């Protein structure tokens, strides 16, 4: 993989025409009031499909389909490879009940490869077993059996730091920008909601501009109860651009910290945070994990229903490895042991063993590790005091603490000659391209690799963070706020996503970092080093 990359453009002003077009689509086309009805309330008449649908965790000939209604109902679905649904396959229904907040999902199986699948779902009201919801349509493309070109996008950090759905801005417009590139799928790199970031109706910026938020009762405070965590997801699904995106682009979803609370780990307590009545983060995380599973189209593991990490082959060229750096970690700490112990745990022994085995077994050319946190960027648990490891890195030098697991993985990849591994991540709220070079590293037992960072998705923009030299990263490109500026609103345009294109003939993989308007900022072409395996 050659170390070549080039910036393509610089940040421009937000298009007024596009902002007005987007504003007209928020909440179904009307500019909604700043305070909206709680999204969990049952409406009159027919079952509601206001939250749209999602498809996720595509694998082989199957995919998970998700939707929600507002009352006890049965979701029924038909699908076809024809847009008019002629000859549609009818799928046995699943129930949406109060114990799952009226969310439901089904596993679609027997799907044809490399096809655009069109579906239509309706909810049947269980009260009278006659009344049907409006039909809800969507489509998605299934993985190929052969070598065709593949395109996907990734980003993370959605609706945080006080920046919510703003009808004047066009809602969560970056989802329109991602949808317009027609990706095969989307990797959501975590922080799918900000359960610890309440919204207010108006935010006056330092230059006098005003940001206006839609606010629901659940978004007016930190989430503590199960229904308040559910309300974080219901809030995001009020947005028209996000629902349109979900209706046509499948997702592989991860979680990180803000689905619960900032920088959480199981042992953490919030005794000093007056916003919380519930001080046990373990209790908050249990509610948050359930809400995440209810609202994301995830596969269920029969032996481990709480497991998120998994892998997904997408044709001969590509396999995505979804890791979980949150659920198995030890407490965030300044301690940096030089030998593995319980305090240095991040992936955990079981997940690390699974990841090594899955990477060894993979026959895909490109192996994408979808990570909810970066490897070499220092992210402190206590940002003000610059103390404690929240991510992998903490300080320069030989591997220590959480870096020990990563060092073991990188050495394994080198020794097993597992080539063409690329890391994609978010978390730090800016965009960057990092090249990890053993010649520049303290730890040298690995093959060179790339890590690409992107985000946020309508949250505050921060950074840049300092790189730890343990694994020899060099910053080839980054775009972040100017020095002294942080938590910039989406009005400043520093919202980012990444796009990955794999050429169906050569196998070349190209990563392009893009902004809110879909403009390319930087591109990096990588050529497969390993033998193509069909």
**190-229 tens-digit pLDDT:** 999 999 999 999 999 999 999 999 999 999 999 999 999 9
pLDDT on residue 426: 98
Q: Rounded distance, CA 516 to CA 188, Å?
A: 16
CATH code reported for the domain at 36-141: 2.60.40.380
Q: What integer is the mean pLDDT of 504-531?
A: 94
- Read off the pLDDT band of 62 (50, 70, 90): very high
pLDDT on residue 35: 52
Q: What integer is the mean pLDDT of 114-130?
A: 97
How much is the mean pLDDT over the chain? Answer: 92
Q: What are the strands, taking DSSP E only, across 265-317?
A: 310-314
Domain layout of the chain by residue ranges = 6-15+144-493, 36-141
At residue 463, does pLDDT exceed 90? no
pLDDT tens-place string over residues 129-177: 999 999 999 999 999 999 999 999 999 999 999 999 999 999 999 999 9
Q: Taking the CB of residue 360, how many other CB atoms lie within 10 A of it?
A: 11
pLDDT on residue 16: 36
Q: Identify the residue whose tokens are 């490891």.
A: 389
pLDDT on residue 288: 98
Which is nearest to 454 in space by CA: 428, 419, 481?
428
pLDDT tens-place string over residues 376-394: 999 999 988 989 999 999 8
At residue 11, does pLDDT exceed 60? no
Q: Rounded distance, CA 390 to CA 400, Å?
A: 14
Q: What integer is the mean pLDDT of 337-351?
A: 93
| pLDDT greater at residue 32 or residue 42 | 42
Q: Identify the residue whose tokens are 């995830």.
A: 298
pLDDT on residue 10: 37
Q: Which SS3 state, helix, strand or coil, does residue 382 take?
A: strand
| pLDDT greater at residue 99 or residue 7 | 99
β-pairing, 421-425 vs 449-453, is: parallel
pLDDT on residue 26: 47
pLDDT tens-place string over residues 389-430: 999 998 999 999 999 999 999 999 999 999 999 999 999 999
Share of the chain above pLDDT 90, in %: 86
Superfamily in which the 6-15+144-493 domain is placed by CATH = Alkaline phosphatase D (PhoD) (3.60.21.70)
């Amino acid at each position: 993989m050659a170390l070549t990359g080039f910036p393509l453009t610089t940040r421009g002003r937000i298009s007024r025409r596009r902002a007005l077009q987007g504003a007209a689509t928020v909440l179904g086309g009307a500019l909604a009031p700043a305070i909206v009805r709680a999204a969990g309330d049952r409406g009159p008449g027919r079952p509601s499909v206001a939250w749209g649908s999602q498809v996720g965790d595509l694998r082989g000939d199957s995919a998970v389909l998700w939707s929600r209604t507002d009352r006890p109902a049965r979701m029924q679905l038909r699908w076809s490879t024809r847009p008019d649904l002629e000859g549609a396959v009818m799928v046995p229904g699943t129930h949406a009940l109060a114990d799952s907040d009226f969310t439901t999902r089904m596993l679609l199986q027997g799907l044809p490869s490399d096809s655009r699948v069109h579906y239509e779902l309706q909810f049947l009201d269980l009260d009278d077993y006659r009344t049907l919801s409006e039909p809800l349509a969507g489509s998605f493309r299934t993985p190929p059996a052969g070598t065709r070109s593949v395109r996907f996008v990734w980003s993370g950090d959605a609706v945080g730091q006080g920046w919510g759905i703003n009808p004047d801005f066009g809602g969560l417009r970056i989802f329109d920008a991602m949808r317009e590139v027609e990706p095969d799928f989307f990797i959501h790199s975590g922080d799918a909601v900000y359960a610890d970031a309440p919204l207010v109706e108006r935010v006056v910026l330092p230059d006098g501009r005003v940001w206006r938020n839609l606010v629901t009762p659940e978004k007016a405070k930190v989430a503590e109860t199960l229904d308040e965590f559910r309300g974080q997801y219901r809030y995001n699904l009020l947005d028209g651009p996000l629902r349109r995106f979900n209706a046509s682009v499948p997702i592989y979803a991860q979680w990180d910290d803000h689905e619960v609370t900032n920088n959480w780990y199981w042992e953490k307590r919030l005794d000093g945070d007056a916003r919380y009545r519930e001080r046990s983060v373990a209790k908050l995380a249990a509610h948050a994990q359930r809400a995440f599973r209810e609202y994301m189209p995830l596969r269920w593991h029969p032996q481990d229903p709480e497991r998120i990490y998994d892998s997904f082959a997408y044709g001969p060229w590509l396999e995505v490895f979804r890791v979980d750096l949150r659920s198995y970690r030890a407490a965030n700490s300044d301690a940096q042991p030089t030998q593995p112990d319980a305090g240095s745990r991040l992936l955990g022994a079981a997940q690390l063993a699974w990841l090594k085995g899955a990477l060894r077994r993979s026959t895909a050319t490109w192996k994408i590790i979808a990570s909810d946190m970066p490897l070499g960027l220092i992210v402190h648990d206590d940002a003000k005091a610059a103390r404690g490891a929240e991510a992998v890195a903490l300080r320069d030098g030989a591997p220590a603490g959480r870096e020990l697991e990563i060092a073991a993985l990188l050495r394994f990849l080198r020794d097993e000659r597992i080539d063409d591994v690329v890391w994609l991540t978010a978390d730090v709220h800016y965009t960057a391209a990092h090249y990890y070079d053993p010649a520049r590293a303290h730890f040298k037992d690995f093959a060179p690799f790339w890590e690409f960072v992107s985000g946020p998705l309508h949250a505050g923009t921060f950074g840049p963070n300092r790189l730890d030299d343990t694994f020899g990263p060099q910053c080839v490109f980054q775009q972040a706020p100017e020095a002294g500026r942080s938590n910039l609103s989406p009005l400043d345009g520093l919202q980012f996503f990444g796009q990955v294109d794999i050429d169906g003939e050569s196998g070349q993989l190209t990563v392009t970092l893009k902004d809110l308007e879909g403009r390319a900022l930087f591109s990096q072409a990588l050529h497969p080093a390993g033998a193509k395996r069909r």
